[in-house]
Each structure stands twice: as C-alpha cells, then as structure tokens.
Amino acid sequence: MPHQNVGFLLIILTFLIITLVSTVVIQEIDLVNSRRKSKKTNLAVVLFPCNILCYIRILLVCSAIVIPESLYFLGIYQVAILLTTSVLLDLADGYLARRYKHQTVYGLVLDLIIDISTSTVIWFLSDIRFSLLFVTIEWSAVVAILYASFVQPYGHWKRKLVESKWPVVNYYFSNNQRNYLGAYGCVSHFVFPMTYIVWGVKPWLLALSFPGLVLFELTSVILIVALVNKNSQVS
C-alpha cells in the first residue's frame, strides 16, 4: 500500500482515537467524582503507568508510518522494531494495570483502540491481498466490544465470551486470554503479516502462523456474533 494512503489511514485512526478516548475520559471523570471514598484524581487516572505506556505506543505506531516518509534511510527493520515494541508494551501495560489495580474504563478503551490501530497499520503495510478483509473483521469486533461495554454493560466482554456455547472460544478467552490457545492466536496474528513486511514470503513462518491467524479471525467473527446475540437478549 502506498505510504501516502497509509498516512491518510493513520490520520483517520488518530481522529478515532482522540474522539473515543475523549468520550471515555468524560465518563471516567464522572465515575471518579461519584466515588466519595476514592482518592484517585482525574489526572491520576490519565497518568497511570499503564496508560503512559499506551501513549508511548501511540508515538511508536505513528513513527512507524511518518518517519519512513521523511527519512528514507530508515529501513523496514527499524519500522518492524517500532511496531514490535508497541506490541510488547501492550503486554507490559496489561500487567501494570492488573498489578496496581489500575483497570479503568479509560484504560480499557485506550488500550483497545491502540491495539486495533497497530494491527490495522501492520496489515496495510504487509500489502497482503486479504488485508482489507481482516481489518474489516477486526474493526467490527472492536465496535461489538465497545457496544457491549458501554451501550449494554453487563461485565467485561471477555467474561461474556467465556460463557458462550463454543468450547474452543470459552478456552480461548479463559483466564483473560492468558492460555496456550489465546497466546498462539495472538502471536500468529502478529507474526503472519509482519513476515510479509520484513522478509516477504517466508514459507515456514507463514505455515506456522497461518493456523493461528485463522483461529484469531474466526474467534473474532464468533466474538461479534456472540456479543450481538447477547446484547439482543439483554435489550
């Protein structure tokens, strides 16, 4: 995909990030103010360590797109390092949120939007034939998650999936996706397109990661169906 198109896509994603995060910040401020016993200020929520890592991830993803346009000496390996670092920081911010009990509405949406933005940039940079299909599925899943979390809130969306009628999906999302199947799906979802970005066609890596990619996309489709059906039952 031409860099100018990716840059335009980044502008759209940035706008979505700012819009969604700003909306959630307002909700978070109202929530924090309503907790008489809570000593956490609005600024403290925004500056939680896990959220600071999210801001760093935004800079990394933006750099992976903007820098190659202005500095041509920056090779594809540097771009891959920026994107890989963003994904690794996703693991770190999740750990910090759980470790210090900083799991907030603001952090949940911020992390979710950065995840899908990173994934979208990786897919379009890979220039794979079906990139647009995968991006559409994953953005649809994000919309379903946001709807389930805010329009019809009845618990964390991953816990809703654990209660689904599909045993594989139950296990995939069990323990907050910290299991072998969930790890394989998430790693494959990253490795498959990154292989095209860095090396082009690398048969053994593609063969290892393709089943996990299919698993990731299928669970995303099931996620959409399950959350929509659950929301329909609730409403």
Pick from 190, 156, 206, 151: nearest CA to 176: 156
Residue 82 near residue 118 (C-beta atoms within 8 A): no
Distance (Å, rounded) from C-alpha 110 to C-alpha 135? 18
Domain boundaries, the chain: 1-127, 129-235
| Helix intervals (H) in the chain | 3-34, 42-46, 49-70, 76-99, 105-126, 131-146, 157-162, 167-172, 180-198, 203-234
Rounded to 5°, the CA angle 207-208-209 comes to: 95
Collect all residues with Cβ–Cβ distance below 8 Å to 9 and sequence separation of at least 6: 120, 121, 124
Q: What is the mean pLDDT of the chain?
A: 78
* Paired tokens of 190: 């990253």
Once rounded to an integer, what is the mean pLDDT over residues 63-81? 68
pLDDT 10s digits, 111-132? 888 898 889 888 988 888 899 8
Distance (Å, rounded) from C-alpha 32 to C-alpha 170? 33
Residue 101 scores a pLDDT above 80: yes
The number of C-alpha atoms within 13 Å of 22 and in the hemisphere containing its C-beta is: 6
pLDDT of residue 1: 47
Distance (Å, rounded) from C-alpha 195 to C-alpha 199? 6
The answer to whether the pTM exceeds 0.95 is no
Residue 64 near residue 11 (C-beta atoms within 8 A): no
